[in-house]
């Protein structure tokens, strides 16, 4: 089968990192250790279902890898060589008996490789339905790695075929198009921390970043009934327009701290050096970028005992002043992909919540999927994701139909 394969090469990884820092908006395919290859297909385990891939989205984690910008601490949680791609819509080809799945069924794949996938008894987190925090990502019947698409054995969806454990396969509702279904993974990565940190009805919420994660944050909050004030910081004009269409009250474009304080109902407090402080402000910040700047501004934007939630993935953060964290007794938390969450007194599966919202017709998806590419056009696909301003890209995906 045709597949995009990422192979181990420390020199190429370092070159990708070097050139991406010089030209941040350019995909340097000549040095990146990614190639379109013909490789054999076989399910990672005999008990897995074989799936013909229809669409596979490009995730920010894929982009970070190709930029040579992944955290070195996360190296053990992937194994090479690997077929990339975990935002998958496909059709069942073959499925184990008694799996409840049948050939021809349209499905999405939840890509977390937990204890069930590794044929191990459930760890303490998997037993609670918190399998995104599985303690056995480095053991069991599979190679090292926490995600399908970042695992040598469990190949991803940037290929003509893939496979998955039956527990990780969810049927796509008949009313949901493939183009909307491919959004479920990026949506779930935002819905998980929102379900776990849902704001009070009278709260002021700041969403920092208006790429696809920020757009999902606005839409998930509104679709789940948040009626409070919703402020979004957007970098580009098309992102600002999309945030407004999704339900944001106020959109700021790269604001100063004074502008941020005013929009949040806080007070700007000048300082001799350091750009000023903010007194009062947001009750919750959902940081969908997680850069040194957004972490800094997010912490400053919170009122006392506010909550900062990191949705974007960060590695090393340099130059961030964390004094607000202790001075205002803030709560700061991260979020690792998706699993289940407590919502209105019940434990719900986040992926299923997102599928249901997408199929309900109450979730505005227009403009979220902005580009479909063949595998043969992989260089153009990644270039569009690297240069979002130039391409107007929100979410790009590979189309294997």
Query: How confident is the model over 299-350, as pLDDT tens digits?
Result: 999 999 999 999 998 888 889 999 999 999 999 999 999 999 999 999 999 9
Q: At residue 146, does pLDDT exceed 90?
A: yes
CA-to-CA separations, 298 to 172, 282, 308, 386, 393, in angstroms, rounded = 36, 9, 7, 24, 25
Q: At residue 377, does pLDDT exceed 90?
A: yes
CATH of residue 238's domain is 3.40.50.720
Q: Does 61 fall in a domain? A: yes
CA dihedral over 55, 61, 64, 66, signed as positive or negative: negative
Average pLDDT of 269-284? Answer: 93
Q: Does 103 fall in a domain? A: yes
Q: Model confidence over 174-205: pLDDT tens digits?
A: 999 999 999 999 999 999 999 999 999 999 99
Q: At residue 262, does pLDDT exceed 90?
A: yes
Last residue of a domain, one of 333, 361, 378: 333
Number of domains in the chain: 2
88 and 41 share a domain? yes
Residue 80 has a pLDDT of 95
Residue 315 has a pLDDT of 85
Q: At residue 165, does pLDDT exceed 90?
A: yes
147 and 12 share a domain? yes
392 and 256 share a domain? no
319 and 219 share a domain? yes
Question: Encoding tokens for residue 144?
Answer: 């090292």
92: buried, middle or exposed (CB in 10 Å: 19+, 13-18, 0-12)?
buried
Percent of the chain with pLDDT over 90: 91
**If pLDDT is split at 50, 70 and 90, which confidence band does 124 have?**
very high
Average pLDDT of 131-150? Answer: 96
**If pLDDT is split at 50, 70 and 90, which confidence band does 390 have?**
confident
Q: At residue 237, does pLDDT exceed 90?
A: yes
Average pLDDT of 50-56? Answer: 98
Residue 309 has a pLDDT of 98
11: buried, middle or exposed (CB in 10 Å: 19+, 13-18, 0-12)?
exposed
Beta strands in 235-358 (DSSP E): 250-253, 267-269, 277-279, 282-287, 302-310, 331-333, 340-343, 346-349
242 and 170 share a domain? no
Q: At residue 212, does pLDDT exceed 90?
A: yes
Which are the contacts of 327, defined by CB distance < 8 A and separation ≥ 6?
none
27 and 163 share a domain? yes
Beta strands in 7-86 (DSSP E): 34-38, 49-57, 82-83
Is 53 or 392 the better-scoring residue by pLDDT?
53
Residue 69 has a pLDDT of 86
230 and 142 share a domain? no
Residue 274 has a pLDDT of 79
Residue 314 has a pLDDT of 86
Q: At residue 269, does pLDDT exceed 90?
A: yes
Average pLDDT of 21-31? Answer: 92
CATH of residue 43's domain is 3.90.180.10
Q: Does 101 fall in a domain? A: yes
Residue 334 has a pLDDT of 95
Quickly count: other Cβ atoms within 10 Å of residue 113's Cβ: 29
Last residue of a domain, one of 276, 309, 333: 333
Q: At residue 77, does pLDDT exceed 90?
A: yes
Say if residues 184 and 355 touch (Cβ distance below 8 Å). yes
Q: Does 100 fall in a domain? A: yes
Q: At residue 71, does pLDDT exceed 90?
A: no
Is 398 or 393 the better-scoring residue by pLDDT?
398
Say if residues 327 and 303 touch (Cβ distance below 8 Å). no
211 and 320 share a domain? yes
Rg (CA), the chain: 21
178 and 59 share a domain? yes
Q: Does 354 fall in a domain? A: no
Distance CA 301, CA 295 (A): 10
Q: Does 339 fall in a domain? A: no
Residue 388 has a pLDDT of 86
Query: Domain range holding 50?
Result: 2-182+369-399
Residue 290 has a pLDDT of 94
**If pLDDT is split at 50, 70 and 90, which confidence band does 72 have?**
confident
Q: Does 359 fall in a domain? A: no
Which are the contacts of 261, defined by CB distance < 8 A and separation ≥ 6?
267, 268, 278, 279, 280, 281, 301
Q: Does 62 fall in a domain? A: yes
Residue 252 has a pLDDT of 97
160 and 289 share a domain? no
Q: What is the largest CA-CA distance in the chain?
A: 70
Distance CA 22, CA 118 (A): 41
123 and 221 share a domain? no
312 and 208 share a domain? yes
């Amino acid at each position: 089968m045709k597949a995009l394969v990422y192979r181990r090469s420390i020199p190429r990884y370092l070159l990708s990192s070097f050139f991406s820092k010089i030209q941040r908006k350019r995909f340097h395919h000549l040095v990146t250790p990614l190639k379109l290859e013909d490789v054999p297909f076989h399910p990672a385990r005999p008990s897995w279902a074989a799936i013909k891939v229809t669409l596979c989205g490009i995730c920010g984690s894929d982009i970070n890898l190709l930029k040579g910008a992944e955290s070195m601490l996360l190296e053990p949680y992937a194994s090479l060589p690997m077929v990339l791609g975990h935002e998958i819509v496909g059709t069942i080809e073959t499925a184990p008996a008694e799996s409840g799945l049948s050939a021809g069924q349209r499905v999405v794949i939840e890509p977390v490789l937990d204890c069930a996938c590794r044929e191990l008894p459930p760890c303490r987190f998997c037993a609670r339905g918190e399998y995104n925090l599985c303690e056995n990502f480095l053991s069991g019947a599979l190679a090292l790695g926490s995600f399908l698409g970042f695992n040598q054995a469990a190949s991803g969806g940037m290929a003509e075929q893939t496979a998955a454990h039956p527990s990780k396969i969810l049927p796509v509702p008949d009313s949901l198009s493939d183009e909307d279904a491919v959004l479920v993974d990026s949506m779930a990565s935002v819905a998980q921390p929102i379900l776990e940190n849902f704001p009070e009805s009278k709260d002021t919420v700041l969403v920092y970043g208006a790429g696809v994660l920020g757009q999902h944050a606005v839409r998930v909050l509104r679709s789940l009934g948040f009626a409070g004030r919703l402020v979004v910081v957007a970098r580009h004009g098309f992102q600002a327009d999309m945030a407004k269409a999704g339900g944001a009250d106020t959109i700021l474009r790269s604001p100063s701290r004074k502008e941020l304080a005013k929009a949040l109902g806080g007070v700007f407090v000048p300082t001799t050096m350091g750009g000023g402080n903010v007194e009062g402000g947001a009750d919750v910040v959902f940081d969908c970028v997680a850069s040194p700047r957004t972490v800094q501004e997010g912490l400053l934007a919170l009122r006392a005992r506010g909550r900062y939630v990191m949705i974007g993935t960060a590695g090393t953060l340099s130059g961030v002043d964390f004094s607000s964290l202790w001075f205002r007794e803030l709560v700061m938390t991260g979020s690792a992909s998706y699993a289940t969450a407590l919502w209105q007194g019940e434990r719900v599966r986040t992926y299923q919540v997102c599928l249901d919202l997408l199929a309900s017709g109450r979730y505005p998806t227009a403009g979220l999927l902005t580009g479909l590419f063949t595998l043969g056009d992989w260089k153009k696909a990644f270039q569009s994701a690297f240069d979002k301003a130039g391409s107007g890209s929100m979410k790009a995906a590979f189309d294997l139909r």
